[in-house]
Amino acid sequence: MKQLFIGLVAIALSAGAQAQDAQQAPQQKQEHQFKHRGQGMRHGHGHDQMLSKKLNFSDQQKQQLKDINTKYRQQLTDLKKNEDITVREQKARMASIRKEHMQQMQALLTPDQKAQMQKMKEDRKEMAKVNAKARAEKMKIKLGLSDDQAKQLKDMHENTFAKMKQIREDKSLSPEQKKEQVKSLVKDQHEQLKSVLTPDQLKQMEDMHHGREGRQREWTK
């Protein structure tokens, strides 16, 4: 049942959370975007080709991108094989490698390409809002939620989003401490969920969640 709340977070009303995310400073947005784009580059040549095509890379940029990501993947592989350092040292070096990779990615793009990438991110965010509202309305209809229940779920989601962000950004916490706090937060929110939905609604939501997991497994076969 603990996984049930995670499923709720993904499909509940999330306009408030989207609004909070949109309040990030432009530079923070760009750095966050490059960070995740850079991590995605580890997964294969297809990501490189997609980025090159969308941003209309020159032949020189394509080669530079290939070299940057080849070096990045090799650095991560070498770091993973290094058994002579502590976990803390490994994480510090990984953070340094990712930061360097992000900076190289930023330097690779022209001002127009950076603007284009930012526009792509904003378009995805707007589409995510539309999809979130559609999922929320679908959930409300399928579970027969009242307006009051829908509002409570929205408030729960916004509250969870804010607390998750606070935990994630707390530099005084170790990864293990963050993990424990997240687990505690999910447990608390699940108890709140039981106070908002009826037993039948909880059961139906759980069935829907398991159904989505089954379809995802079929798609990945």
Q: Which two three-digit tokens encode residue 168?
A: 């994630």
C-alpha torsion 81→82→86→91, nearest 10: -60
Per-residue pLDDT of the chain (221 residues; tens, 9 = 90+): 444 444 444 444 333 334 344 344 444 444 444 444 444 434 456 777 788 888 999 999 999 999 999 999 999 999 999 988 898 899 899 999 999 999 998 999 999 999 998 998 899 999 988 888 888 888 888 889 899 988 888 888 888 889 989 998 998 988 889 999 999 988 888 888 888 889 888 888 778 776 655 555 554 45
Q: Which pLDDT value is given to residue 202?
A: 83
What is the predicted pLDDT for the residue at 83? 86
Candidates 136, 149, 134; CA nearest to 202 is: 149
- Cα 214 to Cα 192: distance, rounded to the nearest angstrom: 26
CB count, 10 Å around CB of 121? Answer: 16
Q: Which two tokens mark 166? A: 């606070």
CA distances from 55 to 48, 49, 109 (A): 11, 10, 9
pLDDT at site 218: 53
pLDDT at 2: 42
| d(C-alpha 41, C-alpha 170), whole Å | 27
- Torsion, Cα 21 91 42 99, to 10 degrees, reads 60
Model confidence pTM above 0.75: no
* DSSP secondary structure, 180-205, as one string: HHHHHHHHHHHHHHHHHS-HHHHHHH
Amino acid 110: pLDDT: 94
Res 221: pLDDT:
53
Which positions ≥6 away from 73 have C-beta within 8 Å? Answer: 42
DSSP assignment of 101-145 equals HHHHHHHHS-HHHHHHHHHHHHHHHHHHHHHHHHHHHHHHHHHT-
Count H helices, E strands: the chain?
10, 0
CB 66 within 8 A of CB 48: yes
pLDDT, position 123:
92
Report the pLDDT value the prediction gives residue 67, as an integer from 0 to 100: 93
The first and second tokens of residue 201, run together, are 């609604």
Q: What's residue 143's pLDDT? A: 87
d(CA 102, CA 108): 10
What is the pLDDT, as a whole number, of residue 64?
A: 93
